[in-house]
Chains A and B, each alone.
Chain A
Amino acid sequence: AQSVTQLGSHVSVSEGALVLLRCNYSSSVPPYLFWYVQYPNQGLQLLLKYTSAATLVKGINGFEAEFKKSETSFHLTKPSAHMSDAAEYFCAVSESSAGFQKLVFGTGTRLLVSP
């Protein structure tokens, strides 16, 4: 079965600093990978997805992620954190079968941004 591991339940950065949220996956087949963000009392919003077309994926709000097969990683980065980036971030791998896509989520990383 496919799985993802997110290292660090909480990450704290200062405004303007680099954001790095880690995600490692386990998959026996080429994976479909996603990053979602969840703001308090809201649903999940897609940040970006890996489609195998390119290893560096750009998403919304200045985020990007790099797929590294050799390291089985899909870490999320942003060069300069903004206060509005404070949220919960989930990495997910997709298991697709018979038209339905099952997302297997990591445990999430809460990003804290201080002034």
Chain B
Amino acid sequence: DAMVIQNPRYQVTQFGKPVTLSCSQTLNHNVMYWYQQKSSQAPKLLFHYYDKDFNNEADTPDNFQSRRPNTSFCFLDIRSPGLGDAAMYLCATSRDSRGRGNQPQHFGDGTRLSIL
């Protein structure tokens, strides 16, 4: 089945130690998104890629970066994780929504990040 896969499912890192989360997709969607979801809250969009074009949300901290080396893969890099960055990180994909705003997003199962 076509899907969005996130690895690892659980990640533990130390305060200030860089960490990378990965996402891959077999849907061949040209848009990929990264969300942060804290406990009992809605997902918060960090940024998205439209093909190779990177788009940051205005309130996404500089500590968060992303890379998309090809259509299938996208990475979330947290340069110096703080305790407040402990959360579930969700990757999602969608088709080009130009003129078709009802394209649903397809989510992976997330990576739960803990900071020691």
Contacts and interface: CB of A to CB of B under 8 A. Distances in A.
Given A41-B112, A90-B42, A99 B104 contact: no
Interface string A43-68: 11110011110000000000000000
Interface of A: 32, 34, 36, 41-46, 49-52, 90, 94-96, 98-103, 105-108
B94 interface: yes
Q: Return the 3 tightest CB-CB contacts between A and B, nearest first.
A: A96-B101, A43-B107, A105-B42
Interface residues of B, number: 31
Contacts, number: 73
Interface string B5-39: 01001000000000000000000001100000000
A69 B45 CA distance: 27
B68 interface: no
11 contacts: A34-B104, A42-B110, A43-B90, A50-B102, A94-B97, A96-B97, A99-B97, A100-B55, A101-B31, A102-B45, A108-B40
Contacts of B48: 100
SS of B interface (majority): loop
B1 to A, nearest CB: 13
Given A99-B97, A100-B55, A107-B42, A49 B108 contact: no
Contacts of B92: 43-44
A49 B109 contact: no
A43 B111 CA distance: 9
A70 B100 CA distance: 23
Nearest to A29: B101
A96 B98 CA distance: 7
Contacts of A50: 102
B42 A106 contact: yes
B35 to A, nearest CB: 9
B31 A100 contact: yes
